Amino acid sequence: MKKMKGSRQMCIYIALCFLLFSITSCNDESDNEGTVGHDPRLPIVVDYFSPTTGARSTQIILYGSNFGYNTDSVKVFFNEKEAPVISAKGDKLLVLAPRLPGENCRIKVRIGGQESIFKDEFDYIIQTNVTTVVGGDRGSTSFPVGTVPLSEAQFNNNMERIIQIDSEGQIYFCIHVGGDKDHVYVINEEVERLRLIDNDAGAWLNSNFVSYDIKNDQIFRFQANIGNNEYWFYDKRNDFAKNMAGRAEWEGESMAPGGWADWSARQSCAMRPSDGQFYFRINGGSFASLNPITGKGKNITGRHTNQGFGTKSGTCRGIAFDPTDDNILYFSVDERHCIYRYDFVTDEITVFAGSENGEAGFYDGERREARFDRPNQISFDKDYNMYIADRMNHCIRKIVMGTGYVSTVAGIPGESGYRDGTNEVARFNEPVGIAVNNEGVIYIGDAVNRAIRRISVE
């Protein structure tokens, strides 16, 4: 009996060893399969994919062969946007559509030094949604003080100034609150709070605007009046303490347009990354630079003095350097209903988008054929698209810089209103400010609606 019992135990032991060996072998085989499943001696074959259309994060199965089983070695691109690879099964890949891959979207599979492209295009569906970040009550007679939840904050005046975003995605803007006072606010969406960081920005017959110091990640405040040359910055690293940054001392000819226009001569500026100076296109057609460290400013209108920098008429609330080459500057002029391009190397100014004759209107299409109605602030996203607050068309426009095509992102041309929702139903009322964060989210200073709006494009 003992012998039989011992034999039975030995059989069980052998069986367990065999089972353990089998499991280990299967695991080893799976590991080997994930490592060597793709044969580099053979081409990657791509056949078809399904579905053929979808929005961001749509699950798509790619069919073909020689994909292997190792998701770490497989790269999939929709145009130049890399897509997350969820699984690899040799003849199938499961991937997620990336955000905004662009037009005429082609899918490419790359493994090691090999790649193959599907012959059919993927039809990417752009989803646009407009929401309100803060404000929106046009009947409000108060204004926020201290730090308040975004949902509670309302404003007693229109938001007719430009807005700015820092590296952390915080949004800054000025607003006139009555008498000789402007307020400066910062929005932190992560904690859903609005904070008043300056309640003593003087504004008698004058206005203030904020501009972003891209080199030091600070927000500056300037004054519109040509005779008020003091400027400040808010120290993010010291609880937004207000600092008197300097007083501009201008060299060269006078840049005053004359008369009442002097009080609103400067409405925006932009810092050039390569030299750390702010550049202004001033009412009356002057062009100026300012070193914020030394306070030295120059009238650099040069040979454009007689005809004006682009033109002698109109206000410039939109000015931005080309993110791929800061020898190129773009600026809008509202009364000319167009956007100009200036080349620092050749000193040439040309109409980049809109009518060269200053014709107002609305039309989507090639940039020179497109029409705007008082374009205001402009801003670029990281994908090299320009966005424009098209004020009197009550909508947000976009220029794909690679193709020069102008389209409408949100809003109904010529129809003012206040409504959140998809791009087909959303309404704005004289959008003035526009800024884009690092994730491609667009923020709008919706002037008459007294609100900061948010556009998510996916």
Boundaries of every domain in the chain: 45-124, 128-457
Retrieve residue 15's tokens: 């069986």
State the CB neighbour count (10 A cutoff) for residue 127: 12
**DSSP code for 371:** B
Q: How far is 285 from 3, CA to CA, in rounded Å? A: 108
Contacts of 373 (CB under 8 A, 6+ apart): 337, 360, 361, 362, 390, 391, 392, 393, 414
CATH-assigned architecture of domain 128-457: 6 Propeller (2.120)
Q: Are 193 and 149 in contact (CB under 8 A)?
A: yes
The residue length of the chain stands at: 458
Cα dihedral: 129, 134, 137, 141 (round 10): -170
Tokens of 439: 């994730």
What is residue 148's predicted lDDT score, i.e. its pLDDT?
Answer: 97
**Token pair listed for 346:** 């050749």
**417, 347 in Cβ contact below 8 A?**
no
What integer pLDDT is reported at residue 103 of this predicted model?
Answer: 81
The percent helix, strand, coil of the chain (3-state, each to 5) is 10, 45, 40
What's the pLDDT at 23? 40
| pLDDT, position 253 | 87
Task: Determine contact, residues 100/380, Cβ cutoff 8 Å.
Answer: no
Phi, psi (degrees; rounded to nearest 5) at 437: -85, 180
pTM of the model: 0.85
- Phi first, then psi, for residue 383 (nearest 5°) are -95, 10
Q: Which of 409, 444, 406, 434 minimizes the C-alpha distance to 424?
A: 409
Distance between CA atoms of 209 and 226, rounded to whole angstroms? Answer: 13
- Give the separation between CA 103 and CA 99, rounded to whole angstroms: 12
Tokens representing residue 230 in the block = 């003091």
Cite the beta strand spans of 138-264 per DSSP E: 147-149, 163-165, 171-178, 181-188, 193-202, 208-213, 218-223, 230-235, 241-247, 249-251
Q: Which fold has domain 45-124?
A: Immunoglobulin-like (2.60.40)
Domains 45-124 and 128-457 share a fold: no
Question: Measured between alpha carbons, how far is 8 from 4 in angstroms, rounded to an integer?
Answer: 6
Question: One digit per residue, pLDDT tens: the chain, 458 residues?
Answer: 434 444 454 444 444 444 443 443 343 334 344 445 899 999 999 999 999 999 999 999 999 999 999 999 999 999 999 999 999 999 999 999 998 898 899 999 999 999 999 999 999 999 999 999 999 999 999 999 999 999 999 999 999 999 999 999 999 999 999 888 999 999 999 999 999 999 999 877 899 999 999 999 999 999 999 999 999 999 999 999 999 999 999 998 899 999 989 999 999 999 999 999 999 999 999 999 999 999 999 999 999 999 999 999 999 999 999 999 999 999 999 999 999 999 999 999 999 999 999 999 999 999 999 999 999 999 999 999 999 999 999 999 999 999 999 999 999 999 999 999 998 899 999 999 999 999 999 999 999 999 999 999 88
